[in-house]
Chain A
């Protein structure tokens, strides 16, 4: 795809996605080299969002394949629409058509149920294919994915091979709940998406929750950065930080103090255990966040 890094940067800005040059470069390469991009990192750091923004940037559709344990080809690639085929057969029987005619008929594209992968491949224009949480799928599925990602074609025994007209832009995300296969990793460009630093996060909050007071925004961002350094079971995500910022707005908070934080902590920390740990550290975190 013809594109410059500047265009990627401006595109991301225009799509209201604030990020680092690392992410920009990786995205740019994925687009130019037409290779799948594997985004890894903690949950809630904006990996899925990346694909959505990419679709917005390229002004195209996002096709999403959410992986889960037990996901198989029928759910990911295509499946025949048995019900519809049966109806057709019954309708044809009434008209007295022969088998050849019928069988030719019912194995056509009209009777194919599209699934995300085939939808991405048969789409008339370039789409963004998001394969979300690929680590949740079984290793066997990964092997199958490999085939699709290298050739961008689908073989339907009755129809033949359907080749992608436009290679989709592929983004895979993984939380590393298990090791992905070497073969898959090698075929992708790799990007580690980490939580943003306090400054970047403040920028994000400014963009998404503009009504929040600037000073408060800085404090929220710094508080979040401190909170993520605690050894929590689930580090708070960017989305949760935004929720919190909105919450603070709604409550009309002017200044971040211990009492407010304690009252609203449940917005960002969701595990009982984490909550207890965070509560005990509120004063220290707050001191660090409100300094300067």
Chain B
């Protein structure tokens, strides 16, 4: 039974249901305790292995494949013969389960022992081989190769330069980014909580001390007005830095509700308000991705049309490579913008060596900003966003 559970776990993992080693151990112990009556087995395994109801259909499908309903009518003699044969043993265990009822954990080691020496796959493809879930064994090596890779993959993704991102990488990075965003959100509220303790409120401390015999046991603090900034983010969505922008928006989105107001924009040559839905960027208006990027014009639009968004408590985040396709940079406008906002931070998803090469006009914009941060990969981006906020 144990090896069947292990094979089942492998199948689950291969289908994208994450199962940890500890959970597998729970499952084995649970089945030993609960018994192998089919429906009980199903629910026991589900309780131990499926932690998200969304995975339940996958689980049920694989369960039916791995623990098929085997006719109770199978005769004992036939059963023993096949158990010796190695292959049939897998199906037989199920047959015993449905017929045998309550759990007999005592028997398990012996049973596992019996099955262990089973060699590759004897050619005697009996009827039971067809019943055993196809490919359960085939899946495991590939899966084994993939499993430890997952964490490594995540780390690699954090360190992968944005200009080497493929569409698939972006897809995978979304999950990473969502998690990072949640952490960012938690960090912001934690910081706020620690800030909330301001100066001691003397009057309230004395009043509170009445209940402890005039000893000011618990100081009362004057509540600080939470100074949450407003956020305006401008992200370049043109080809060269699109991945970085998308991921940054994804990173900010979970934290957006922390800000007093958050306005997210993307641009190529025009400003376009966006919202983030389920990690994807949803533009709120027409957006020409193939236009030639022109940050100068974007600044004009921001200054002309959305100046109301720029205030004393606004944090303006710009993400872009400042490549203007030889169109005139509008550093003067950016300076005017900077003078209105609390803080202006520019994030550059290009390595520092490439700044100001070709049509990049970063050197014109950079002196105006409060900070210009290099973020060539996810790890740097996350750090930069943390720093900027």
Residues of A within 8 A of B (CB): 5, 21-22, 25-26, 28-30, 32-33, 35, 37-38, 40, 82-83, 86-87, 90, 138-140, 179, 185-192
Q: Are A33 and B213 in contact (CB under 8 A)?
A: no
With A and B bound together, what is the CA distance between A21 and B47 in angstroms?
A: 12
A65 vs B34: C-alpha distance in the bound complex, in angstroms?
29
5 more contacts with CB within 8 A, not counting A83-B211, A86-B213, A138-B186, are A25-B44, A29-B47, A33-B29, A86-B217, A186-B51
- Complex interface: chain A residues within 8 A of B76 (CB): none
Is there contact, CB below 8 Å, between A83 and B190?
A: no
Given contacts A5-B34, A82-B212, A138-B186, contact A25 B53 (CB under 8 A): no
Cα of A138 to Cα of B185 in the assembled complex, Å: 11
The verdict on A82 contacting B43 (CB below 8 Å), with A29-B34, A40-B53, A189-B48 known, is no
Contacts A33-B26, A82-B212 given; indicate if A25 touches B50 (C-beta within 8 A): no
Contact B211 A25 (CB under 8 A): no
Q: Could you show 8 A-B contacts with beta carbons less than 8 Å apart? A: A25-B44, A33-B29, A40-B53, A82-B218, A86-B213, A87-B213, A189-B26, A190-B52
How long is the Cα–Cα vector from A188 to B182 in the complex, in angstroms? 22
A25 and B186 within 8 A (CB): no
Alpha-carbon distance A86/B43, docked complex (angstroms): 54
Q: What residues on B are CB-neighbors of A32 within 8 Å?
A: 30, 33-34
**Given A139-B186, A189-B48, A21 contacting B26 (CB threshold 8 A):** no
Q: In the complex, what residues of A have CB within 8 A of residue B52's CB?
A: 185, 190
Chain A's closest residue to B215 (CB) is A86
A190 touches B50 (CB 8 A): yes
> Hey, which chain A residues are within 8 Å of B46, CB to CB?
22, 190
**Closest chain B residue to A87, Cβ basis:** B213
Return chain B residues, CB-CB under 8 Å to A25: 34, 40, 43-44, 47
A190 to B50, CA, bound (A): 7
Residues of B within 8 A of A186 (CB): 20, 22-23, 51
Query: Is the beta-carbon distance between A5 and B217 smaller than 8 angstroms?
Result: no
A196 to B190, CA, bound (A): 40
Complex interface: chain B residues within 8 A of A30 (CB): 47
Once the chains bind, are A5 and B40 in contact (CB under 8 Å)?
A: yes
Contact between chains at A189 and B47 (CB < 8 Å): yes
Give CA–CA (A140, B189) in the complex, Å.
11
Residues of B within 8 A of A29 (CB): 30, 33-34, 44, 47-48
Chain B residue at minimum C-beta to C-beta distance from A179: B182
Please judge, given known A-B contacts A21-B40, A35-B26, A82-B217, whether A140 and B190 are in contact too, CB under 8 Å: yes
Given contacts A25-B40, A86-B217, A192-B56, contact A185 B186 (CB under 8 A): no
Number of A-B contacts (CB under 8 A): 77
Chain B residues with CB under 8 A of A187: 22
Chain A contacts for B48, CB-based, 8 A: 29, 189-190
* A189 to B170 alpha-carbon distance, docked (Å): 33
Q: Closest B residue to A37 by CB, please name it.
A: B47
Q: Output the nearest chain A residue to B56 by Cβ-Cβ distance.
A: A192
A263 CB, nearest partner CB in chain B, Å: 36
B22-A90 in contact (CB<8A): no
Interface residues of B in 181-222 (CB under 8 A from A): 182, 186, 189-190, 211-213, 215, 217-218
Interface residue tally for chain B (C-beta within 8 Å)? 31
**In the bound complex, do residue B30 and residue A33 qualify as a contact, i.e. CB atoms below 8 Å apart?**
yes
Q: Which of B17-56 contact A (CB under 8 A)?
A: 20, 22-23, 26, 29-30, 33-35, 39-40, 43-44, 46-48, 50-53, 56
In the complex, the answer to whether A185 meets B51 with C-beta atoms within 8 Å is yes
Q: Give the dominant DSSP class at A's interface.
A: helix
Contact in complex: A26, B215 (CB < 8 Å): no
Q: Is the CB of B215 within 8 A of A21?
A: no
In the complex, what's the smallest C-beta–C-beta distance from A6 to chain B, in angstroms? 9
Task: Please indicate the chain B residues that have their CB under 8 angstroms from the CB of A26 in the complex.
Answer: 43, 47
Q: A176 → chain B, closest Cβ, in Å?
A: 9
Shortest distance in angstroms between A177's beta carbon and chain B's nearest beta carbon? 14
By a CB distance below 8 angstroms, the chain A residues around B217 are 82-83, 86
Which residues of B have CB within 8 Å of A22?
43, 46
Minimum Cβ distance to chain B for residue A180 (Å): 9
Bound Cα distance A112, B15 (Å): 50
Chain A positions within 8 Å of B33 at CB level: 28-29, 32-33
Closest Cβ neighbor of A86 among chain B residues: B212
The 6 residue pairs across chains A and B that have the minimum distance between CB atoms? A25-B43, A26-B47, A32-B33, A192-B53, A189-B47, A185-B51
Give Cα A26–Cα B30 distance, bound, in whole angstroms: 10
User: How far does the Cβ of B44 sit from chain A's closest Cβ, in whole Å?
Assistant: 6
CB <8 Å contact, A90 and B213? yes
Name which residue of chain B comes closest to A70, CB basis: B193
Shortest Cβ gap from B117 to chain A (Å): 31
From residue B63, how far is it (CB to closest CB) to chain A in Å?
Answer: 13
Per-position contact with A for B312-330: 1 when CB-CB < 8 Å, else 0?
0000000000000000000
Residues of B within 8 Å of A138, CB to CB, are 186, 189
Q: Is the CB of B29 within 8 A of A21?
A: no
Whole-angstrom distance between the Cβ of B257 and the nearest chain A Cβ:
12
**When chains A and B are docked, how far (Å) is the Cα of A179 from the Cα of B53?**
12
Cβ A191 vs Cβ B51 within 8 A? no
Q: Contacts A29-B44, A29-B48, A189-B47; is A5 near B213 (CB within 8 Å)? A: no
Residues of A within 8 Å of B30, CB to CB, are 29, 32-33, 189
Alpha-carbon gap, A35 to B23, bound state (A): 11
Q: Which residues of chain A come closer than 8 Å to B35, judged between CB atoms?
A: 5
In angstroms, Cα B50 to Cα A38, docked, is 11
Q: Which residues of chain B are near A28, meaning CB under 8 Å?
A: 33-34
In whole angstroms, how far apart are the Cα atoms of A192 and B53 in the complex?
7
CB-CB under 8 A from A86, the residues of chain B are 212-213, 215, 217
Chain B's nearest CB lies how many Å from the CB of A217?
27
Chain A residue with the shortest CB-CB distance to B23: A186
Contact B212 A140 (CB under 8 A): no
A186–B47 alpha-carbon span in the complex (Å): 11
Q: Give min CB distance, A39 to chain B, whole Å.
A: 10
Q: Is the CB of B43 within 8 A of A21?
A: yes
For the complex formed, measure the closest distance between the CB of B163 and the CB atoms of chain A, giving whole angstroms. 31
